[in-house]
Amino acid sequence: MTAANQPPSPAIVSQEAARRAPRAVLLALCLAYVLAGFVGRGPWKGADVASLGYMLALLEGDWPQWLAPHMLGQGADALLPHWLGALSIRALAPLGVPAALAARLPFALMLVGTLAATWGAVRHLALEPGAQPVAFAFGGEAAPGDYAHALADGALLALIATLGLAEGAHEAAPAAAQLCFAALAFYALAVQPRHDARALVLLALALAALALSGAPRLALGYAALALLGVPRQWSRRRRRRTLTALLTLAAALALLVWRLHVLRAAALAEPQWRTGAEGWLSLLRLLLWFTWPAWPLALWTLWRWRRQFFSAHRHLRLPLALAAVPLLAAVFTTAGARTLLLALPALAALAALALPTFSRAAAAFIDWFTVLFFTGWGIVIWVVWVAMMTGIPAKPAANVARLAPHYTPLFQWPAFAAAVVGTGAWLALARWRTGRHRAALWKSLALPAGGAALCWLLLMTLWLHALDYGRCYEGQMRAVQQAMVEAGASQPACVQVWGLGEVQLAAARVHGHWRLRAATDEAAHCPWLLIDARVRGALPQALAGQWEEWRSVPRPADKDESLLLLRRAAPVLAAPVEEKGRTDR
């Protein structure tokens, strides 16, 4: 399709509306969003504490352990994230930095990289001729560079506003690393037509990092998209050179995936297809809230830009293709939120393309809905915090007591001050956005991003102590240690385990600081055995005879996840047998 036959753009943007977001405000928003959740909290149940356990195991093991991280038979399907966390712990431990905080530093930097790569990818896509707004009859339309910066600011705000990004991107876990490298691949593919050499280098790094982070299939999918996306208007020599490099990269990735599979360092699980209506309804609920508010904006983009979809420009097809890969993986397998997380940068790009097509009424509806929605949730968070501290109102206090039995609230001045500052910033933003001011392209997403950042900040300050109590294993492991002390024993050098899952093993290593040995290890001779209460009956009789039950230790917020502490039974000494024919002298 020639330029003369290109369908008209639905974007109508004046130069005044193409103003960039204030850099200081945008950076402050990103900084607050990144730090909240990485600083001050303990490792939570799930991939967060499991990854920390693997990192500590790497530091204790020899070099083969670094090629196949494991904990008593539980293996990790990712290498690079655990390497980075372990190296960070080793570098910062001499400075007195706690292991959990040191492990999070590389992941905090990777979240910064995710935000920066998404912004850069959308800026390059917005420079495509098909993405530019229509020219006005008497001039005054947005300049290409200013329009691209304003649209990139909108994409960054859309990404921060997406609800599913908050928890998954703030964990020191492989999914957060995969998100960063997926965003880097998005950036490399976006800049490929203008800077093919730089794009190929970045793409090679991103895809290799994805494969080493436990997502080799996704890396191969992105490599295939790169092969399909080589611009047709390039010269034959340039296209041949680029295709050769991409094919070499795909072959290297396939070899890397096979080698990792042989080493069992990135074992690829067989797909598990969803069955039954309940499974599909659960997926639908996850899609609706996890990708909110990006998905309705992305659908609006596809409708308003539908005539440009089959044009030669990639501002629609590239983010749609990159979002489709993880979305299809989530639909046809049970991967769930970990896979959906990787679709968010591309969905944010599609959401940003909806901004230049909004009418004034639609923008006003988004503003007022967002103000009411996030202000309401902010009030709920504050009211529940007051109830935790004072017992008033009684009903929220009773709900907290039911969900977190025996929890004792703790007032923390730094957290309270941060929550007050964040709330004040939100009120100022809401007043500014709903007042009279000049229009700007990105302003319809300022309130959603600010509201999402506010609620995440309040949760990570006002509720953090309670969330740590409910989602960490520290309290349960401290109770196990107390039970050992009550038995008159000092802190043991090792503890044998039976039936513990990956997360429980990591929690015992992180919070208990024990060397863990399998219950079947006859050479261990540890004084204590820790087992999951749910598999008590599966303990072999030969092993059960060597131990006596000492204490059942429930987890404070989940009594179904109890541990049984057993101590080694005293050996039964046989009575002396008199020798025949022996006489007293």
Chain segment 44-62, per-residue pLDDT in tens: 998 999 999 999 999 987 7
Q: What is the reported pLDDT for 259? A: 52
Which tokens sit at 363?
Answer: 């923008």
Lowest-pLDDT range, 9-23, 35-49, 386-400?
9-23
Q: What is the reported pLDDT for 257? A: 61
Give the Cα separation of 157 and 150 in Å (integer): 11
- Residue 585, pLDDT > 50, answer no
Give the Cα separation of 541 and 563 in Å (integer): 19
Which tokens sit at 452?
Answer: 């999402």
Q: What is the reported pLDDT for 339? A: 86
Q: Label residue 564 by pLDDT band (50, 70, 90).
A: very high
Pairing of strands 74-75, 494-498: unpaired
Query: Mean of the pLDDT values across residues 504-520?
Result: 89
Give the Cα separation of 28 and 86 in Å (integer): 29
- Residue 424, pLDDT > 70, answer yes
The CA–CA distances, whole Å, from 43 to 49, 56, 178, 265 equal: 5, 13, 19, 23
CA 52, 58, 61, 65 dihedral sign is: positive
Query: Mean of the pLDDT values across residues 551-568?
Result: 86
Give the Cα separation of 118 and 29 in Å (integer): 16
Lowest-pLDDT range, 50-59, 150-159, 402-411, 552-561?
552-561
- Residue 218, pLDDT > 90, answer no
Q: What is the reported pLDDT for 269? A: 42
Q: What is the reported pLDDT for 255? A: 57
Give the Cα separation of 52 and 55 in Å (integer): 5
Q: What is the mean pLDDT of the chain?
A: 84
- Residue 395, pLDDT > 70, answer yes
Nearest-5° angle of CA 164, CA 169, CA 171? 120
- Residue 582, pLDDT > 50, answer no
Q: Which of 45, 49, 13, 342 shows the shortest CA–CA distance to 145? A: 13
- Residue 580, pLDDT > 70, answer no
> Buried b vs exposed e over 290-313: b needs ≥16 C-beta within 10 Å?
bbbbbbebbebbeebbeebeebbb
Output 113 or 131, whichever has higher pLDDT: 113
Please give the share of the chain, as a percent, with pLDDT higher than 70: 85
Query: Mean of the pLDDT values across residues 430-441?
Result: 74
Output 115 or 22, whichever has higher pLDDT: 115
Q: What is the reported pLDDT for 144? A: 87
Q: Label residue 347 by pLDDT band (50, 70, 90).
A: very high
To the nearest 10 degrees (0 to 180), the angle between helices 216-228 and 196-212 is: 160
Q: What is the reported pLDDT for 51? A: 94
- Residue 252, pLDDT > 80, answer no
Give the Cα separation of 193 and 200 in Å (integer): 11
- Residue 209, pLDDT > 50, answer yes
Q: What is the reported pLDDT for 103? A: 95
Give the Cα separation of 54 and 59 in Å (integer): 9
Please give the share of the chain, as a percent, with pLDDT higher than 90: 42
Give the Cα separation of 449 and 241 in Å (integer): 42
Give the Cα separation of 209 and 78 in Å (integer): 10
Q: What is the reported pLDDT for 584? A: 45
- Residue 207, pLDDT > 70, answer yes
Chain segment 258-293, per-residue pLDDT in tens: 555 554 443 434 444 555 677 778 888 888 899 989
- Residue 521, pLDDT > 60, answer yes
Element (H, E) at 566: strand 558-568
pTM to 2 decimals?
A: 0.90
CB contact set of 260 (below 8 Å; sequence gap of 6+): 79, 211, 212, 216, 266
Query: Mean of the pLDDT values across residues 466-478?
Result: 92
